[in-house]
Amino acid sequence: MYRRPGLVCRDHLLTVPLDHSAPTGAQIQVFAREVVSSQREHDDLPWLLYLQGGPGNKANRPVPTSPWLRRALTEYRVLLLDQRGTGRSTPATRQTLAGMSPVEQAGYLGHFRADSIVRDAELLRRHLLGEDGRWTVLGQSFGGFCATTYLSLAPEALDGVVLTGGLPPLHADAEQVYRALYPRVLAKNKLYFRRYPGDEELADRVVRHLRRNEVVLPDGARLSVERFLSLGIDFGAAARFDGLHYLLEEAFLGEELSETFVQAVVAATSFATRPLYAVLHEATYCQGGASRWAADRVRAEFAEFDAEAGQVRFTGEMIYPWMFEQDPALVPLRAAADLLAERADWPHLYDPDRLARNEVPVVAALYHEDMYVDRDFSLETAEAIRGTRTWVTNEYEHDGLAANGAVLDRLLSLLHGHA
């Protein structure tokens, strides 16, 4: 146990099966951090399990100034879960997978989707709360996908579910998802260049420079046009929307790209700290079928993204095969990623019949202009989960939970029937 101003934290480490269908087989560890207000340390509080966005992102590290955490701690004991493969849980990276063949890597990584995360959470719940204990789940983005899987697999463990930008499509495959999301990325590009009209020429200048010159990044890889254009990944987060502008305004030092710029680009585009995000991103949408690099295939339908056509348009959070050729953190996982992209027997993550009979209170914030999770698919899912109450807003972007404690306050009021 340790303390920070206003917070009391306890760390929990639990051994769980790699494959929950083979409980006596290979084992991994999952880490979770319990956080409670120092003013309520000894109170008998209900539990709130926080599931982070991703896939492949570790849980937020608790700071007293976090708006949503500060609000949650007024009535809950919060558990921050490092989803398997991330943070202080047994990591899944090029280092830990180095001794495996591509087939072994793909088999291993196939156990790191939402269904396994939920089963890990169930073991943690029993460990901390007892067999009959129940908790509320707060799911941000991909964490909301996991929470929807939780409603499908173990609703009896839940007092309530709170979703922020995380109602997944129940039936749409990766190809349908990206066909819906690419226009939203283009809309964010339009908004960005309207705010910073001079950046279109500046970005085009960077592209022209990269075509004429070989620029080597600090990680040893060449900075390609594709990698530069992937910086649009932050266009859907209000807190980071302007980051590209401040990066571009320092891009050139005379006729050369500045060291400040190339250092920032490698930091923003490397998957060294979260390889699972790249490896499993499309698999989060797979239920029985193969993704076959859906984002790459569907992108060809949108000529606006063709930098050769005379305009620069940044891409979003889509994952492309070239990333496994250009990012040193992903190169050792390329063959495994190809195998995962061709896998056609993914287990289903959601149970539509069980969701239609749902009795767990569910509330969800849907962001009207969300670039990462399609609003229309989310509305369909809200209709399909019995009793779901939605709050559709354009006041916040996808990172609304982190930006303002009013988001969680509004959702908890809905959950408790006060709004």
Domain ranges of the chain: 2-170+350-415, 174-342
pLDDT of 2 > 90? The answer is: no
Write the single-letter amino acid at 121.
Answer: A
* Residue bearing tokens 């989060």: 284
pLDDT of 419 > 80? The answer is: no
User: Which among 418, 382, 347 has a CA at the least distance from the CA of 19?
Assistant: 347
Residue 8 — φ and ψ, nearest 5°? -125, 125
Quote the distance between the C-alpha of residue 103 and its chain's center: 25
Token digits of residue 419: 């709004």
pLDDT tens-digit map of 147-171: 999 999 999 999 999 999 999 999 9
Catalytic residue among 44, 132, 345, 353: 345
Strand, coil or helix: what is 258?
coil
Catalytic residue among 111, 209, 281, 398: 398
Q: Model pTM?
A: 0.96
* Catalytic-residue membership of 234: no
Mean pLDDT, rounded, for 358-387: 97
Token digits of residue 307: 């930098």
pLDDT tens-digit map of 81-137: 999 999 999 999 999 999 999 999 999 999 999 999 999 999 999 999 999 999 999
**Residues present in the chain in total:** 419
Percent of the chain's residues with pLDDT above 70 = 100
Token digits of residue 374: 């399609």
* Catalytic-residue membership of 141: yes
* Residue bearing tokens 């003013």: 39
- Lowest-confidence segment of 10-24, 166-180, 240-254, 307-321 by average pLDDT: 307-321
User: Which among 251, 237, 289, 259 has a CA at the least distance from the CA of 402?
Assistant: 237
Separation CA 395–CA 401 (nearest Å): 12
Q: Is the C-alpha dihedral spanning 166, 172, 174, 178 positive or negative?
A: negative
Mean of pLDDT over the chain: 96
pLDDT tens-digit map of 3-61: 889 999 999 999 999 999 999 999 999 999 999 999 999 999 999 999 999 999 999 99
Residue 413 — φ and ψ, nearest 5°? -65, -40
* Residues facing residue 82 across a β-bridge: 31
Beta strands in 313-382 (DSSP E): 362-367
| Cis before 55 (ω within 30) | yes
Superfamily of domain 2-170+350-415: Alpha/Beta hydrolase fold, catalytic domain (3.40.50.1820)
List all residues 6 or more positions away from 146 whose beta carbon is below 8 Å from its beta carbon. Answer: 51, 83, 114, 117, 118, 121, 139
pLDDT of 307 > 90? The answer is: no
Mean pLDDT, rounded, for 406-412: 97
Catalytic residue among 141, 152, 230, 378: 141
Mean pLDDT, rounded, for 231-236: 96
* Catalytic-residue membership of 376: no
Strand, coil or helix: what is 418?
coil
Q: Where are the alpha helices (DSSP H) in 258-384?
A: 259-269, 275-280, 294-299, 323-326, 334-342, 352-356, 375-384
What's the farthest any 2 CA atoms get from each other in the chain? 66
- At 304 the pLDDT is 93
Token digits of residue 210: 């990269």
Separation CA 255–CA 258 (nearest Å): 9
Token digits of residue 261: 């710029």
